[in-house]
Structure 1
Amino acid sequence: QLEAVEQVQRTGVPMTGTAPAPQGMPKILVVDDQANNLLAMSAVLSTLDQELVAVSSGREALKALLDHDDFAVIIMDVQMPDMDGYETAAHIKRRPRTRDVPIIFLTAMGTDPEHSARGYAAGAVDYIAKPFDPWVLRAKVAVFTS
């Protein structure tokens, strides 16, 4: 966690991934356009035994999924410029290689039934409102990475 914080303080940019993980270690794709949110999610999830890949847009998420086909779960913001989380999820679910990767939306849009229904319709397995309980997020991610 300290390494991630120091990286942001030095460069203003969150870590975009971690050192290569040992073979067989689950990967988590974290997608959010806000550097502070990526930092917070990385800090919360860093103590789980997995490799984190953090990207800041839907397009970067799709590229990461082309480069790696072994993500255990995707945690994605809804409100992002250019391609929002719903559109990104639709692209992910259309591809045979990635359609079964679970997506958890983590968003500041709240738990309004209209937004959460749209998230589930886009293929999400869960929809969590910000601010989020770190223990809840860890527990939900652990379901897919254990």
Structure 2
Amino acid sequence: MTPPAPDTAPILIVDDMEENLVALEAVLSSLTSTVVRARSGEEALKAMLREEFAVVLIDVLMPGMNGFETAANIKGLDQTKDVPIILLTGASVDPNYAYRGYTVGAADFLIKPFDPWLLRTKVNVFLDLYRKNHQLASQADQLKRLLTGPTPMESPATPAEPHGPAHAPHAPEDAPAPAPAPPVGDEALSDIASRLVQIELLLRDARDIESAGLADRIAALEQSVERLMAGREA
């Protein structure tokens, strides 16, 4: 499964009726440049294994694999279990449908006919979260590269004097040996690495927590690492 560029934030819409797909695409096209259609649950699963989606909208009443079964299968796969699902159904439905939707892992449940503004608002929440997660993951990767990058090269040895070691200066015999230079930035580097681990743990659960402010924390860490690396190179 190839992740797309975060600015595209693709949406998958699943319905067995063409007119419903056309209506959904018209409502959602203003939010993203990529809206992918699927005419069945099986087709939706195949699409999700090929491509990463920010959110999936699934009609409940479909022949073959219905919306509940499709959602359960999506949540049962490691590659797709974290993708949020919105289930859609008609007004004259079983009142327990909403409960069934949440038990199979759906994030939201809407009854047709729905307000286009309400649908766009709900979907846009997941699109924004998808973009933020990609931004956080990208910044975490940058920090990893800084933390695990090559160490600065040591200064080249002073070339020998052309007339041999007899002319090389030497310290008095009673002069104390110079103390080895302490490692530069080790404590700060350890602290940054520890905080990076904490952020990675937050990233794993970013869909279930308030992610605002994490990007700023990572950016501050990145600046600290850059200053540290600059000090080690000096």
Which residue in 1 is equivalent to 2:111?
A: 129
Which residue in 1 is equivalent to 2:20?
A: 37
Asked if 2 retains the 8 angstrom alpha-carbon contact of 1:30 and 1:52, the reply is yes
- Which of 86, 93, 98 is equivalent to 1:116? 98
Asked if 2 retains the 8 angstrom alpha-carbon contact of 1:106 and 1:128, the reply is yes
More helix by share: 2
Identity %: 53
Match runs of 1:3-82 below 5 Å: 23-24=5-6, 25-68=8-51, 70-82=52-64
Secondary structure of 1:118 counterpart? helix
Uncovered stretches (5+) of structure 2, i.e. residues with no partner: 129-234
Secondary structure of 1:71 counterpart? coil
Higher relative contact order (CA 8 A, sep 6+): 1
Asked if 2 retains the 8 angstrom alpha-carbon contact of 1:74 and 1:104, the reply is yes
Structure 1 stretches (4+) deviating beyond 2 angstroms? 109-113
More strand by share: 1
- Which of 75, 86, 89 is equivalent to 1:107? 89
Uncovered stretches (5+) of structure 1, i.e. residues with no partner: 1-21
- Higher Cα radius of gyration: 2
Which residue in 2 is equivalent to 1:85?
A: 67
TM-score by structure 1 length?
A: 0.80
